[in-house]
Every structure is written in C-alpha cells, then in structure tokens.
Amino acid sequence: MNIIVCIKQVPDTEQLQKVKVDPQTNTLVREGVPGIINPFDENAIEEALRLKEKKGGKVNVLSMGPSQAAESLRKALAMGVDEAVLLSDRLFAGSDTLATSYTLAMAIKRIGPFDLILLGKQAIDGDTAQVGPGLAEWLNLPQITYARKIEVNENKIRVERVLEDVFEVVESPLPVVVTVTKDINEPRYPSLRAFIPVSRDFPPRERIAFSG
C-alpha cells in the first residue's frame, strides 16, 4: 500500500525559551532554535513503516516549511521512508492551518495515488489539531482522528481511537486520512542513512502555484 505521512518541523522542546514572537506578524521567530520532527508526526512515520513492513508498498513523507525543515526529512529518510518532499517558499511564511492543509492537499494530488494519509494528532507548537481534518476536507476523504491502533485489511481500515474517557473502534474504506496519538507505537531510531539528502523537491514555480 502507498502511504503519505505529513510532518512538521517544530522548535526543540528543550530550547523553547529561545523562541520569540514577532510583534508585527505574530509569527514565531525560530532563528537560532534547533528544529525537530513534531513528536506526534514521528509516531505517524513509525506506523506507516510498520504497515509497509506488513503490507508492502511505499512510504512518502511530505512537509511544508523553510529550508531548515530538510533536516527533519533527512531523519525521516533515516528511519526508513522511501521518499521525502519539502514544500518551501517565502510565500508560505505565516500560513495558518487552512493555508497549510490546502498546500499539502495540492501537493498530494501531484505526488500520485495513495491508500492512506497519516499525520500526528497535532503539532506541539500550535496544538490546533486542524491540519489533518482540513486535509481530509480539501481532498474530499473520510477522516479518523486520535488513533491509538490501526489495522488494514483488504480495502478497509479499522482504527481504535482515543476519546476523553473511552476508546472507540471505527472502520472506513480506503483511502482515508488518519491522525495518530503517542500511544500508537514507539518510534524507531534513525539509521546511518541520516546523511542522505532529501530525494525530491518541487520546482519553484510549482511551489508558488500551491500558495493560491
């Protein structure tokens, strides 16, 4: 099965004291602050790799952000994903969750056929949990949020999701967008492939086109 994982680079949680907010744009000033893969997105990568090991296929990772975000894509490649795509352009600076989900959706349409889209349940620097549902809306796909267990059989997915005080089991046909929690797995450590360069990037004119 072909899986796309959308990830975000976020400030290192151990360096949050260095993060400032631009008073004019109200956006985060990340210069000088190391970036990491959003922790929930690491769980999404791990789950995609486990599904690939069981079902075969391919795992693509997609991210939107500044050029520094390539470091997070290199880590994803080191974990074992097959391909990594970075959408990077100055026009994307300060994008809200609506613009981010739209841009990712347009890129996914360019990437090609897929069976499953995975994301972390939310980004730790925004905590909105809106990009996954927004992505499903732009792509006109069903969505399942807060997954703690995933099973894929034939053309159907079965997910155990976390609610406030209970677990809920739901099923959906593929393709579908699923957001995952930390409970779903323990991400693996990257291999020495960490130094492999990002394998693919869109030309500037295509990146600009995604901004609408």
Q: What is the residue extent of each domain of the chain? A: 2-10+21-186
| Residue 24 identity | Q
| pLDDT in the model for residue 202 | 46
Dihedral sign for Cα 93, 127, 194, 108, please.
negative
> What is the second-level CATH architecture of the domain 2-10+21-186?
3-Layer(aba) Sandwich (3.40)
| pLDDT in the model for residue 203 | 46
| pLDDT in the model for residue 173 | 97
* Rounded alpha-carbon distances, angstroms, from residue 26 to 66, 95, 96, 192: 17, 11, 12, 38
| pLDDT in the model for residue 164 | 86
Residue for token digits 């889209």?
117
The strand pairing partners of 116, in sequence order, are 3, 176
| pLDDT in the model for residue 204 | 43
pLDDT in tens, 90-123: 777 778 889 899 999 999 999 989 999 999 999 8
Give dist(CA 205, CA 203) in Å, integer. 6
| Residue 155 identity | N
| pLDDT in the model for residue 77 | 94
CB atoms within 10 A of CB 143: 18
Report the predicted TM-score, pTM, of the whole model to 2 decimal places. 0.83
* pLDDT lower than 50: segments of the chain: 198-199, 201-212
| pLDDT in the model for residue 68 | 87
Average predicted confidence (pLDDT) for the chain: 86
User: Does residue 92 contact residue 64 with C-beta atoms inside 8 Å?
Assistant: yes
Give dist(CA 90, CA 93) in Å, integer. 5
